[in-house]
């Protein structure tokens, strides 16, 4: 499955009330006002949506939209 960056960005940002333009700049989720509890919730939702498993040890490194997208893209390919 090919994961479209724009669709992914709109989904994640819309879910957490974050500007897509701001998120695409590489700001961390914390800088965007998304706390750690929300990040874990986001991960759970993305696992269900894309039928993937994200290693909990990797979550701390997935601190921005571009990094999260790249990681998930690697799982869905």
- Which sequence spans correspond to the domains of the chain? 5-76
The class of domain 5-76 in CATH terms is mainly alpha
Give 19's Cβ-side CA count (13 Å radius).
7
Question: What confidence tier does 1 reach under pLDDT thresholds 50, 70, 90?
Answer: confident
- Measure the CA–CA gap between 51 and 28, rounded to whole angstroms: 25
**Nearest Cα to Cα of residue 26 among 38, 14, 9, 40:** 9
CA quadruple 76, 11, 32, 39: dihedral sign: negative
Question: What confidence tier does 10 reach under pLDDT thresholds 50, 70, 90?
Answer: very high
Q: What is the pLDDT of residue 65?
A: 94
Question: What are the tens digits of pLDDT across the range 31-63?
Answer: 999 998 999 999 999 999 999 999 999 998 999
């Amino acid at each position: 499955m090919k994961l479209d960056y724009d669709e992914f960005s709109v989904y994640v940002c819309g879910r957490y009330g974050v500007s897509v333009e701001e998120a695409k700049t590489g700001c961390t989720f914390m800088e965007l006002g998304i706390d750690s509890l929300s990040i874990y919730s986001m991960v759970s939702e993305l696992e269900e949506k894309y039928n993937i498993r994200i290693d909990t040890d990797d979550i701390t490194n997935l601190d921005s939209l571009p990094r999260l997208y790249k990681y998930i893209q690697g799982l869905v390919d």
